Structure 1
Amino acid sequence: MLRMWLQVSLLCLSCLTLPGQSQGQDRASLRRSNDHSGLCHYTFTVASPEESSCPGTSMKPEMDGVSSRLTMLEALVSRLITGVDGGPRTGTNGEDGVQEAYSQVTRERKQLEQDKERLNGQVQELQRRLAELSQEAESLRQRPCQQTDSSGVTQRDSRPASDPALNGNGAYQEMKAEVKELPASHLIPEGNHNFTGCGELQSVGDPVLHRKADGITGKYGVWLQDPEPQGPQYTNKTVWRIDTVGKDVRQLFAYEDMDQLSQGFPMKVLVLPEPVESTGAAMYRGSLYYQRKRSRTLIRYDLTSESLASRRDLPHAGFHGQHPYSWGGYTDIDLAADERGLWAIYSTSKAKGAIVISQLDPESLEVRKSWETNIRKNTVANAFMVCGRLYTVASYTAANSTVNYSFDTATGAGRAVAVPFKNKYRYNSMVDYNHAQRKLFAWDNFHMVTYDVRLGRASDDRS
């Protein structure tokens, strides 16, 4: 638009040229400049072919008319530049901005349409999978149950899915109410009354969170339940907890049960006679067993009398960072309890960092027997004992780790295994087994969790 108006203006200027001045048109010029207020003015100049100078009093009337018309033209050009309504003209730049904005809106619209098509495809896929799962569930509901008779032959249950015995209603509920509990001894096969249910580790379940520690002192710690409590004061439901971050760790927190632990209010706080080193403590038969700080000394603290019951050095054991687990934390000596008794997991200079297992006397802490394995202690994240077998955890930070090694103290043989183990919170600093509950207790980056474990039947008679 501005270009068109300038062309019209130049045409007008050509019309304003006086007769007889056509010879001077070759020397005509159009000048643009700002005045004192910043407005742009256009000035058209034509040299006279006849006069060398302009006398002040002899200007012709025709020149006065030309000057007047030039002034009007300048005002017209000024209005064209600033806009009819007084606003600035955007010109070519404004048109380019509108075009760019339109292009951007077009691109965004195209992207939104693509996203819409993609989401529609995902919805259709989910609907298809839902339909398949519904059909599969209906097929399973209509399929008769399989039963095995006394001869071992598999039979199919011909009862319809509406049978109350399958749905848990009617007469089936009455039959369940008449079932009586049987003593555990009745379930043990004849001639095997010493069977303890021991076997090799088959699987470790997903971690179940019970509480998250509040302060920085709870990043590492120990939390346990006694599998074989002694006396009426504390039971197998009592939860024990030690936060092991600190220079002088002595506080032992007691909680009535898991619910009280989750609420965070202990029923009692005991002060231990010696400071605790790291996360290798164990709870067994009414006593807390732990390593004294900066030493190879083992402590047995009696919970009933709240006093030190016995202490003994673990011969040749490394301590305070000589042979820790891979995560560190001065985990040189790790105490554990299982179906077979009390154990110490550690290493010595003679073993050159390989894990040594010693079975301890629960009263005196004296070493009864020791085994040397062929796996280095600082290459595994943690270890625990189940049915007299040592198991090690490969990583303390990997979300999907494994129990990667097993050593059987009954045969003295070790082997590699691969049982999935999850570190949900990515910094597992303590793993202990509770044989009464068949659970692993762990402290994973402020989080106190448990894992259900499943054992296979023992392949040898370990009773």
Structure 2
Amino acid sequence: MWVQVFLLCISCFTLSTLSQTQDRASLHRSNDRAGHCQYTFTVASPEESSCSGNNMKPEVDGVLSRLTLLEALVSRLIAGEDGGAGTAVGATEEGLQEAFTQVTGERNQLQQDKEQLNRQIQGLQRRLEELSAEAESLRHKPCQQTHRPASGIRVLIKGPSQSEVFDNILHSLMQFSFTLCLSDPAYDIGNGAYQEMKAEVAEVPASHLFPEGNFTGCGELQSVGDPVMHKKADSITGKYGVWLQDPEPLGDLYTNKTAWRINAVGKDVRQLFAYEDMDQFSQGFPMKVLVLPEPVESTGATMYRGSLYYQRRRSRTLIRYDLASEKLASRSDLPHAGFHGQYPYSWGGYTDIDLAVDEQGLWAIYSNNKAKGAIVISQLDPESLEVKRSWETNIRKNTVANAFMVCGRLYTVASYTAPNTTINYVFDTATGEGRAVAVPFKNKYRYNSMVDYNHAQRKLHAWDNFHMVTYDIRLGRQG
């Protein structure tokens, strides 16, 4: 706006000057020596009648120079500075409008919070008044003399589904009684005016009070806890693999605290990492690296009684590797078993043969042409790897993500990627029957490629997308 005012002032000044001098000024046009048109602006001097030479030329040049600078200044103001000022003013107005809107919104929110707090305060005040009145009523109500105890309250604890609070209860509970008087603290108990309440607790065997989580015998799977992460692999070779602890170690060289790990990504997997305990395992400090005599296929290996059991790459051959002597102890082909992608789990990974251990020994979980892709369970001799007995289930292997054995029962996991999935099927080798179940199971890291049971710890070991985790499990009683 101020630029327009400035231009208007200049125009007025110019017009005023022209009006004052138009009667005394003259403008001449002529060609110079070079043929260019030349304008001459002449103003008569009121003081001098004549002038000699060319003394007016410097003054005219100065005036022209100042006019040129003035035109340049006006052009720059019109072209740039005015637009910049307008933009700045617009931006400032927009910013002020936005700030005003934000402040208005915060004010409204604070007003709503204030009203809500006022309502809560009023509710608390009403509740306080009610409690005060109730306390005053109890304070002035004397304890009445009773000549006989109030009716006994008989409590029968039926177990076995009791809280963990009962874990340390003795093998039986004796009857007991107690007295209670609700009166003013200044009331004289010595006068005998009090109420008595007796509770009787029936004697219950302590075995019925222990929660199922402490039950150490065999039974059907009831629940699986949340995964606990112990180690995360730090390279692409650790996306999936095997990690284990021997539930029944032999000798003094390795114990049940020793942790074992195989990174299963690669064409020629032979390295078996040994860690002294779980602390060293979590920190990634192996105490020894063993080189296996034959390459490992996928994530179906297991550990049992001082030996590593695994499937040889691109074959149905099973291998028992003795950890103490670091030698191949025995090998045997699993009859008619599919291998290298014929009957894998749903996640793939050439998981055709999955070896497992539970309270009843060594197992192989696989399929063959006769079963047409359904899971076959075979119990193996842990020394010779020969098949002792087999069962055919009615669930297809490629429809489940993984499987494991607990107390002679096969359990399958529905999905390897769903964060909240289920253990969806159980097959009991004792009865030869299978059925659907729905035990919640969590894939916290969304790519669970290995699940194995350790019956000594009563835990599941799993490898979930670079993460090595364990799950606590709970079993129910037989029958």
TM over 0.5: yes
1:242/1:251 contact within 8 Å kept: yes
Between 11-20 and 320-329, the greater mean CA deviation after superposition: 11-20
| CA 12–314 in structure 1, closer or farther in 2 if over 3 Å, else same | same
| CA distance, structure 2, for counterparts of residue 124 and residue 265 of structure 1 | 60
1:216 corresponds to which residue? 236
- 2:26 is aligned with 1:6: no
| CA distance, structure 1, for counterparts of residue 284 and residue 179 of structure 2 | 51
1:325 corresponds to which residue? 345
1:443/1:449 contact within 8 Å kept: yes
SS state at 2:4 partner: helix
Structure 1 residue 19: Cα displacement: 9.4
2:44 corresponds to which residue? 61
1:228 corresponds to which residue? 248
2:167 corresponds to which residue? none
1:383 corresponds to which residue? 403
- 1:393 partner letter: V
Structure 1 residue 446: Cα displacement: 1.8
| CA 257–11 in structure 1, closer or farther in 2 if over 3 Å, else same | closer
SS state at 1:452 partner: strand
SS state at 1:298 partner: strand
1:399 corresponds to which residue? 419
SS state at 1:90 partner: helix
Residue 278 of structure 1: which of 298, 302, 315 is its match? 298
- 2:303 is aligned with 1:302: no
SS state at 2:321 partner: strand
| CA 404–157 in structure 1, closer or farther in 2 if over 3 Å, else same | farther
2:455 corresponds to which residue? 435
2:240/2:449 contact within 8 Å kept: yes
Between 93-102 and 338-347, the greater mean CA deviation after superposition: 93-102
Residue 344 of structure 1: which of 347, 364, 367 is its match? 364
SS state at 1:329 partner: coil
2:425/2:434 contact within 8 Å kept: yes
| CA 112–436 in structure 1, closer or farther in 2 if over 3 Å, else same | farther
TM-score (normalizing by structure 1) = 0.69
| CA distance, structure 2, for counterparts of residue 115 and residue 327 of structure 1 | 52
1:293 corresponds to which residue? 313
| CA distance, structure 1, for counterparts of residue 319 and residue 114 of structure 2 | 62
| CA distance, structure 2, for counterparts of residue 210 and residue 438 of structure 1 | 16
Residue 357 of structure 1: which of 364, 374, 377 is its match? 377
- 1:454 partner letter: R
1:39-438 alignment to 2 at 5 Å? 61=44, 75=66, 79=70, 82=73, 90-91=81-82, 93-108=84-99, 110-111=101-102, 114=105, 197-438=217-458
1:81/1:89 contact within 8 Å kept: no
2:131 corresponds to which residue? none
Structure 1 residue 152: Cα displacement: 5.1
- 1:94 partner letter: A
CA deviation profile, 1:127-169 (whole Å, cap 9, x unmatched): x9xxx9xxxxxxxxxxxxxx99667599999799xxxxxxxxx
| CA distance, structure 1, for counterparts of residue 114 and residue 288 of structure 2 | 55
Structure 1 residue 223: Cα displacement: 1.0
1:9/1:73 contact within 8 Å kept: no
- C-alpha RMSD of matched pairs (Å): 4.6
| CA 389–107 in structure 1, closer or farther in 2 if over 3 Å, else same | same
| CA 217–91 in structure 1, closer or farther in 2 if over 3 Å, else same | closer
SS state at 1:233 partner: coil
| CA distance, structure 1, for counterparts of residue 39 and residue 81 of structure 2 | 43
1:167 corresponds to which residue? none
2:28/2:39 contact within 8 Å kept: no
1:253/1:269 contact within 8 Å kept: yes
| CA distance, structure 2, for counterparts of residue 241 and residue 57 of structure 1 | 103
| CA 232–378 in structure 1, closer or farther in 2 if over 3 Å, else same | same
- 1:100 partner letter: A
SS state at 2:279 partner: helix
| CA distance, structure 1, for counterparts of residue 412 and residue 256 of structure 2 | 26
Between 54-63 and 322-331, the greater mean CA deviation after superposition: 54-63
Between Structure 1 and Structure 2, how many residues are aligned? 383
Structure 1 residue 75: Cα displacement: 4.7
| CA distance, structure 1, for counterparts of residue 288 and residue 21 of structure 2 | 120
Structure 1 residue 290: Cα displacement: 0.8
Structure 1 residue 301: Cα displacement: 1.7
- 2:386 partner letter: E
| CA distance, structure 2, for counterparts of residue 442 and residue 402 of structure 1 | 15
SS state at 2:97 partner: helix
1:9/1:77 contact within 8 Å kept: no
